């Protein structure tokens, strides 16, 4: 009798389970509604003119913005991922766990992650455009976005590294491997799926960012000849079209392309993470 009472779920656990199911269902329905709404509103207005290499007021081409978006994602990740991963490796593998430095960096990263993007944009404007005199440029925008995603990369990489069992490290040390070899041959491959999850989140934030880029990369609708020239991304392009009020349909079509771009990048990253996990197993 006592065993049956112990196995019987309590009202609190049942309520928490239902709340979790409701939250998951609400999230799935909201995401599905947004995706379906964008596809319905945007797909009918997709045309070859929107993919012309040169933007004009007649074709309102998004191709320059698409190329600039991919460039911005690659540049921001090239800056933020090595820096964030290096900081996470040092705090997890070299610094004493629970030290003041680790705690200070953790608090700082969490604080920076909660700062609105427009604040980063204002800082990027004052530092890159005013102090360094870069002007509105892709480089200024990429550096600003790298600062925005750096706290996210540090926290996700640190959590992924801490999730690797200490037995892996001890086994590697027992076989005579040094700390550096252990980090690169044992710890990082085991933490790769978690690190890629941080990269996926960073890509989503970069692709959808608007406020910070308005202050740094500008809104010029062309493919820049070099990284020190201005260029708009798909999110900025969509914002400009909708704010003008003349190209609302083209803005929805741009939203479709942006959505598909983010889905494709996330799917590719997820496939890479899955293959790494299978290879590790």
pLDDT of residue 31: 87
A 10 A CB-CB count for 228 gives: 13
- pLDDT tens digits along 173-225: 888 888 888 888 888 888 888 888 888 888 888 888 888 999 999 888 888 98
pTM of the full predicted structure?
0.84
Per-residue pLDDT tens listing for the chain (281 residues): 444 555 566 777 888 888 999 999 999 999 899 889 999 999 999 888 888 889 888 888 899 999 999 999 999 999 999 999 999 998 888 887 777 888 888 888 888 888 888 999 999 999 999 999 998 999 999 999 999 999 989 989 988 998 888 888 888 888 888 888 888 888 888 888 888 888 888 888 888 888 899 999 988 888 898 999 999 999 999 989 888 878 888 999 999 998 888 888 778 777 776 666 665 55
pLDDT of residue 281: 54
* Closest to 207 in 3D by CA, of 237, 227, 230: 237
- pLDDT tens digits along 65-80: 999 999 999 999 999 9
Write down the CATH superfamily of domain 52-280. MetI-like (1.10.3720.10)
CA-to-CA distance for 218 and 231, rounded, in angstroms? 6
């Amino acid at each position: 009798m006592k065993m049956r009472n112990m196995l019987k779920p309590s009202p609190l656990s049942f309520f928490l389970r239902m709340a979790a199911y409701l939250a998951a269902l609400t999230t799935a329905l909201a995401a599905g509604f947004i995706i379906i709404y964008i596809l319905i509103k945007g797909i009918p207005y997709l045309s070859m003119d929107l993919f012309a290499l040169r933007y004009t007021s007649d074709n309102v081409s998004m191709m320059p913005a698409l190329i600039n978006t991919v460039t911005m994602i690659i540049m921001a990740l090239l800056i933020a991922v090595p820096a964030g991963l290096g900081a996470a490796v040092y705090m997890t593998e070299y610094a004493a766990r629970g030290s003041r430095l680790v705690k200070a960096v953790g608090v700082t990263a969490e604080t920076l992650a909660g700062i609105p993007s427009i604040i980063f944009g204002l800082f990027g404007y004052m530092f890159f455009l005013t102090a360094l005199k870069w002007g509105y440029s892709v480089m200024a925008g990429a550096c600003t976005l790298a600062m925005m995603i750096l706290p996210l990369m540090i926290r996700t990489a640190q959590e992924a590294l801490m999730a690797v069992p200490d037995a892996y490290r001890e086994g590697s040390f027992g076989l005579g491997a040094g700390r550096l070899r252990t980090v690169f041959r044992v710890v990082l491959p085991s933490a790769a799926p978690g690190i890629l999850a941080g990269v996926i989140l960073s890509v989503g934030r970069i692709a959808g960012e608007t406020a910070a880029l308005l202050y740094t990369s500008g809104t010029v609708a062309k493919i820049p000849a070099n990284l020190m020239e201005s260029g708009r991304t798909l999110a900025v392009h969509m914002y400009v079209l909708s704010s003008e009020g003349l190209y609302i349909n083209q803005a929805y079509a741009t939203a479709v392309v942006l959505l598909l771009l983010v889905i494709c990048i996330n799917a590719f990253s997820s496939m890479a993470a899955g293959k790494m996990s299978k290879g590790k197993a």
